[in-house]
Amino acid sequence: MHRAGVMLILGAFIAVVVVAGCAPKKSPTTGTTATGKVQITGAGSTFVNPVMSRWSSEYEKLTGVQVNYQSIGSGGGIQQFKEGTIDFGATDVAVTAEEEKEFTRPFVQFPVVAGTVSIVYNLPEVTQNLQLTPEVLVDIFLGKVKKWNDPRLVALNPGVNLPNRDIVVVHRSDGSGTTYILTDYLSTVSPEWQQKVGRGKSVSWPVGVGGKGNEGVTGQVKQLPGAIGYVELNYAVQNNLTFAAIRNAAGKFVLPSKETGEEASRMAVDRLKQDIRSSAVNMPGENSYPITGFVYVLVDKQPRDAAKSAEIKKFFEWVLKDGQKMAAELDYVPLAEEVVQMSLQKLAEVP
């Protein structure tokens, strides 16, 4: 009789829910589960997701505290944190003074890790890392440099046999912290870019095709010979994309890497001390990669749940001290020691 089978399935559903519903309720002050584990919910930046998952996994092994991080995008992270539906938010772009006015609760924000945005391209004929100056990069994204064998590109890359291909710009079609970091950089180095396009999580691109997410841009660049785009370094490395060396403020061509990003983050310390929202693009220093940005975490200063807040604080202390070397393994940029100290100071404001 099939109906018996149907009833069995229905019964099983109901049983699961009833059993789960009858499980001992958590105590409201400690937020522990039946297994005695604290669970912290965070959400936001997709860029930080891989390293956050790694931290979460290692931290659970060490302490039993479960940090559940969900990547819903930087904007989503700020929004949900503002609504108070998550315990902490993560964003690639610091909450601006203007946005901060809309918050009903006091909070702190501080960098937990940094990342470099790599300029990736697809030229089957070229295997070397190309060299680009900020001016040429701006003109490529403005659509003024149209061919890969443009005289300016050839002059910058002696000995490289640049093909007579059209340059196809690939940019993000969705709002993105990566776009913010790149356009922040382009606006910093070029008044023309600042005036025509400006900085933002999404801007109106003068030329090019869009791709959704880091993975969308990666896919487009991989498929289109002649394409140039920008993705976070870990996407470039994971997908074997070639990336360019960019001339930094000190006049040196540097490739994106954890060392060059760390140098940039170190150079940004003085500015950060003035204003935690300061960007880390176009920093001085011979070895600093110019398109570098921080990932910020947002934490309540007046938490509703004191015990949980103490656990959140402990977790981020661990992230800032012990978590940085794991970040390097995943092609993120570990924070320079000076920045770590500054973040720890900010974190100390959390009870």
Partner 1 sequence: MKVSPLHERWRRFKNVAALTLAGVCAVVVMAPVFIILAYLVANGIRSVNLEFLSSLPKPPGEVGGGMANAIVGSFYMVGLGLLISLPIGVGAGVYLAEFGNTRFGYAVRFMADVLNGVPSIVIGISVWALLVVPMRSFSALAGGVALSFIMIPMIARTTEEMVRAVPNSLRMASLSVGATYARTMWSVVLPAARGGIVTGVMLALARAFGEAAPLLFTALGNRFWNFYLDRPMANLPTQIYEYAKSPYQDWHRQAWAAALVLITIVLVLNVVARVSTRERFRALR
Classify residue 107 as left (phi > 0), alpha (psi -120 to 50) or beta.
beta
User: Taking CB under 8 A as the rule, does residue 43 contact partner 1?
Assistant: yes
52-111 positions binding partner 1, by CB under 8 A: 53-54, 56-58, 60, 66, 68-72, 83-86
Q: Is 351 in the site for partner 1 (CB under 8 A)?
A: no
Longest dimension (CA), the chain: 81
**Helix or strand run (H / E) with residue 138:** helix 134-142
Strand-pair partners of 227: 168
223 near partner 1 (CB under 8 A): no
Residues between 253 and 282 that touch partner 1 (CB under 8 A): none
Is the C-alpha dihedral spanning 151, 155, 156, 161 positive or negative? positive
Min. distance of Cβ 219 from partner 1 in angstroms? 10
Strands 245-247 and 131-132: parallel
CA distance 114 to 90: 12
Of residues 29, 48, 50, 318, which one binds partner 1 by CB under 8 A? 50
Minimum CB distance to partner 1 smaller for 145 or for 297: 297
Our finding on whether 129 is near partner 1 (CB under 8 A) is: no
Asked if 215 is part of the footprint of partner 1 (rule: CB under 8 A), the reply reads yes
CB of 204 to partner 1, least distance (A): 25
| Residue 315 binds partner 1 (CB under 8 A) | no
- Give the binding range for partner 1 (CB under 8 A) out of 101-109, 210-218, 291-299, 334-342: 210-218
Kindly give, in sequence order, each residue whose CB lies less than 8 Å from that of residue 270, ignoring residues fewer than 6 positions away: none
Other CB atoms closer than 10 Å to residue 91's CB: what's the count? 26
Q: Which of 304, 337, 345, 348 binds partner 1 (CB under 8 A)?
A: 304
Cβ(97)–Cβ(146) below 8 Å: no
In whole angstroms, the minimum distance from the beta carbon of 260 to partner 1 comes to 21
Q: Which two tokens stand for residue 210?
A: 């869009």
CB of 317 to partner 1, least distance (A): 20
Give the helix, strand, coil percentages of the chain, each rounded to 5. 45, 20, 40
Q: Does 6 bind partner 1 (CB under 8 A)?
A: yes
CB of 75 to partner 1, least distance (A): 13
Asked whether position 2 contacts partner 1 by CB under 8 A, the answer is yes
Question: Is the CB of 189 or the CB of 333 nearer to partner 1?
Answer: 333
Q: Is residue 207 exposed (0-12), middle (13-18) or buried (19+ Cβ within 10 Å)? A: middle
Is residue 309 within 8 Å of residue 351, measured between CB atoms? yes
Rule CB under 8 A: which residues touch partner 1? 1-3, 5-6, 9-10, 13-14, 16-17, 20-21, 23, 25-26, 33-35, 37, 39, 41, 43, 49-50, 53-54, 56-58, 60, 66, 68-72, 83-86, 213-215, 218, 234-235, 238-239, 304, 329-330
